[in-house]
Structure 1
Amino acid sequence: MSTSALTLTPRQRRAFGLLVAGEIKIAIRRPVGLLVAIGIPFALLVIFGSIPATTRPEPALGGISFFDLYVPTLMVFVLIAVGLTGLPQQLSSYRQQGVLRRMSTTPVPPAWLLAAQTTVSLILAAIGIAILLGAGAGAYGLALPHDAGGDILSVVALLLTAAATIGLGLVVAAVAKSPQIAGAITALFFYPLAFFSGLYVPVQEIHSQLITDIAKVLPTGAGFNALHAAFGGQSPGVLPFLVLVGWVIVCSLAAARLFRWE
């Protein structure tokens, strides 16, 4: 994005706001993306929160319950779904339909579309995570971070994980010429990243040093480790945040290098 929101004129801000509003309407009209990003994590939250065995503290998990361990995973899943499903599909569709090319002939900079898509992705992610935390704490006794340090670490971890997953989505959108190609590339990233976030089975229960080491250097694994530690009142250390920052930088540079409007 060549012009920051802070330097836009009032007229430009209104135009950008209308663009964001339009992208939100498009997202609402395509409920599949909302189902994956918000519906599936919420359904899993309700299922595991309703099973007594998953809400009991487990010595093998350090005295926390499987449910408490799983909620940070669901939060990361929301970010994966938002960054790697909706965003690449929509942008590649715009490229295939010539929307990006036509925008280059209007007063609206095409880069605004990237910013609008990123903004919509962040809004959807915030809604999905707020639903998880609200329902988890209100209905199933989820233990939220109970100190300012934990709150700050959680927010930083969420923002960096969101930036990393959206960055990955932009890389996919940069090279995908059609939604079909975007979907195929997304699948190559989505399922491994979901696995290493602990979606299918907690990484801690696999008891494999190799799996643990791989998870540490992936954005979803690093995001989960940071959130899990923050929710448990522990320090995650600097490694998860360094990994996330690295992914943000690499993905941003790659997307900027590879992205084509036509």
Structure 2
Amino acid sequence: MRGFLALAWVELKLFLRDAFATVFALAFPLITLLLLAAVFGESDPQEQVDGQFIFRGAHGDDYYVAASVALAIAAVGLLALPVHLASYRGEGVLRRFRASSVPTWALFGAQFVVGLSVAAFSSLLMTTIAWVIYGTSWPAAPLGVAVAFLLAMLCFTSLGFLLGALLPTARAAQGIGLLLFFTTYMLAGTGPPRAVLPSGVRDISGIQPLARVLIAIQDPWFGFGWNWQELGLLACITIAALAPAALLFRWD
């Protein structure tokens, strides 16, 4: 256990030294939150498009606080983690881990702890800043949000492991990760609300994991209760991604 904690601590320090990972996990969600909350903060919670509430019955600034939390999770899973693993493989770090008898579960577990810590700090920072500047609401059901947050991290960490296992180089991981990240950002409701998207795009966008994460986090945040269907879907995505990631993972 001591060795695992030491590995996680070293990985956390390396994460914070990585400008690419830090910008997208900490700075980008905060900047987008401040901009979007300033623009849509005074929106009418009851405003609808095609019979759907644009901001799911919440104020725009509250909507984007929860959305930015989901975005920080996606940044860790789609950008930081795959690039980190692919970079380790290219630099021979993974081979040294294997030579030191570091088990796969310890490497995966350490990355999950690091990602969870960074995303949790980012989320707390954004929620506090939005509350101070815009007077946004704190989660109505903190435990429900915490459970959804944990499952979302497991889901996107598993997806990050899978990308890290499949993509051969850090450059490839960065390119594919950026494409996936910005596509899901624009379509999952973390940028434009899904209600304002064309109906066909809206239907297709709902299959994205980030769209499921957003609803799973927003429902308890807004006081709608725990969304067991979304939590179950996140658990299924986690298993579906983690199993092949473990099988396909290469140390060199």
Tell me the TM-score normalised to structure 1 length: 0.85
Distance 1:168 1:194, change over 3 A: same
From 198, 202, 226, the equivalent of 2:193 is: 202
Residue 232 of structure 1 corresponds to which residue in structure 2?
Answer: 222
User: CA 1:111–1:243 in structure 2 vs 1: closer, same or farther (change >3 Å)?
Assistant: closer
Aligned residue for 1:133? 127
Aligned to 1:89: 83
2:188–2:206: 8 Å Cα contact kept in structure 1?
no
- What displacement does 1:112 show? 2.3
The offset of 1:103, in angstroms, is: 1.8
Q: How does 1:141-152 map to 2 (within 5 A)?
A: 141-146=135-140, 150-152=141-143
Percent identical among aligned pairs is 27
> By how many angstroms is 1:224 displaced?
0.9
* 2: CA distance, partners of 1:86 / 1:177: 15
Question: Is the Cα–Cα contact under 8 Å of residues 76 and 197 in structure 1 kept in the other structure?
Answer: no
Shift of 1:120: 0.8
CA distance in 2, matches of 1:36, 1:190: 10
Q: What corresponds to 1:80 in structure 2?
A: 74
Map of 2:151 onto structure 1: 160
**1:228, CA displacement in angstroms?**
2.0
- Give 1:55's aligned residue: 42
Give deviations 1:50-104, integer Å, cap 9, x for gaps: 44x5234342146532212222211111001111111111111111111111222
Unaligned runs of 5+ in 2: 48-52
1:26 pairs with one of 3, 8, 14? 14
Give the Cα–Cα distance (whole angstroms) in 1 for the partners of residues 20 and 214 of structure 2. Answer: 25
Counterparts in 2 of 1:212 and 1:170: CA distance versus 1, 3 Å = same
Task: Kindly provide the CA deviation profile for residues 199-246 of structure 1, in whole angstroms up to 9, marking residues without a partner as x.
Answer: 3311022251x3343343321111111222222211364321222111
Provide the aligned length of Structure 1 versus Structure 2.
245
How far apart, in 1, do the equivalents of 2:57 and 2:208 lie? 26
Alignment of 1:1-16 (within 5 A): 13-16=1-4
1:44 equivalent in alignment to 2:32: yes
Rate the CA distance shift 1:27–1:63 in 2: closer, same or farther, 3 A.
closer
| Runs of 5+ consecutive residues of structure 1 not aligned to the other structure | 1-12
The alpha-carbon distance between structure 1 residues 70 and 48, as it changes in their structure 2 partners (threshold 3 A), is: same
CA RMSD in angstroms comes to 2.0
CA gap of 1:213–1:240, structure 2 versus 1, over 3 A, is farther
What does 1:214-229 align with in structure 2 at a 5 Å threshold? 214-229=204-219
Q: Does 1:182 align with 2:169?
A: no
